[in-house]
Amino acid sequence: MVLPGALWAQSAGTPAPVDWKRANEAVAEFPRGHADVLKWEQAQPVQPATPARLAAALTLPTPAHAARLAWQTHRDLAGVQARAGADATEAIAQGQWAALAPRLLRRVHGADELLAVAAQARKAWVHAVATRQVLPHLQTRADAADAALELGQRMVAVGNWSALQLATVQLAKTAAHRDWARARYAAAQAQHELLRLLPPTAQVPEPAFPASLPDVPAQPLSAAEATARLQALHGHMPPANAWAHATKARLALAAYQTSWTVAQGYREDELPTRQRITDETLLRYHGMLKSVWDLLTETGNQAQAQVEAVQAQRDFWLAHIDLTWTLQGGLPDALVSLGGGGGTAAASAAGH
């Protein structure tokens, strides 16, 4: 049976940049930011690009592409793939590990390494895409902070504000730009970590990634189904190994279920509610019931919520990889940390 999360759907995209300078000069025409919905392309080519093409460009639309390329750096894995068979190999690349019978790979010498390399590449791809996805949202937050500071400076100049009031706005602007700078570095670092897993022919300055991570599935893998698969797996393992593996598998399942709950909460509750607040703030601003400060503040809040939602998506897919790997007998070195989004997106993204 294919794991429900294996078929990836749509994901929220990134908002267009807002011209905050113009907003301060003509607040009646204050632009309304919004997130465009981007369709996730599921019909991707299954064959990796040829080395000749990789030398000029590299496109990594799915983690399966990263897994296939990562295998090429391990020459001994060609024989493992042949022994496992084309169907099983492709299922591993696609992350559809639940479709494989546990005893199948237990009988294939070298299958553990095949799975480990695929898991590492898939997780590196998730990090690379997630760190890029938060950048436009953090830029929106920084732009709003710039606009607030500019407006505050004008108010100080005409005597409507004190220097103390302006200092608070200055600190908010500094924090927003600090987070944006950290996030840009985190994106570069994540890209480097992914590329170093791939063949030399894939070392290009700017590989192409999708604009966003796939959305979380509507329904996660159930605890009952995971337990049944573990029991089947442990029937092919020595008792001592099965006991140690069961302990790690329970934690991997808990991380998977918790990360799904958090990500689903952002998608179904946090983001829609935040959008309603922004919409209402905008309406009241045009009706002269809210100030430009309220609108700038809410724009920053919405951008931060988008960042945290992306981080929740990232955590889910990392937990998904760990769990599916565990259900095939793997023992991930470290499971995903669910410490929360916080104000520093880059630090959180780089911490996994």
Domains and CATH numbers, the chain: 61-345 (1.20.1600)
pTM: 0.80
Which of left, alpha, beta for 200 (phi over 0: left; psi -120 to 50: alpha)? alpha
Q: Say what the pLDDT of residue 220 is.
A: 93
Q: What is the pLDDT of residues 157-205, one digit of tens each?
A: 999 999 999 999 999 999 999 999 999 999 999 999 999 999 988 778 7
Residues in the chain: 352
Residue corresponding to tokens 């919905």: 37
For residue 345, the surrounding DSSP H or E stretch is: helix 345-350
Residue corresponding to tokens 């994901």: 11
In 3D, which of 167, 144, 143 has the Cα closest to residue 155?
167
- Separation CA 136–CA 103 (nearest Å): 45
Sequence-distant (≥ 6) Cβ neighbours of residue 308 within 8 angstroms: 266, 270, 340, 341, 342, 345
**Which residues partner with 37 through β-bridges?**
12
Looking at residues 116-138, what average pLDDT do you find? 97
Q: How many CA atoms lie within 13 Å of 140's alpha carbon, on the beta-carbon side?
A: 28
One-letter amino acid at 180 equals W
Per the CB < 8 A criterion, the answer to whether 264 and 217 are in contact is: no
Q: What is the pLDDT of residues 250-289, one digit of tens each?
A: 999 999 999 999 999 999 999 999 999 999 999 998 888 8
What are 183's two structure tokens? Answer: 């996030």
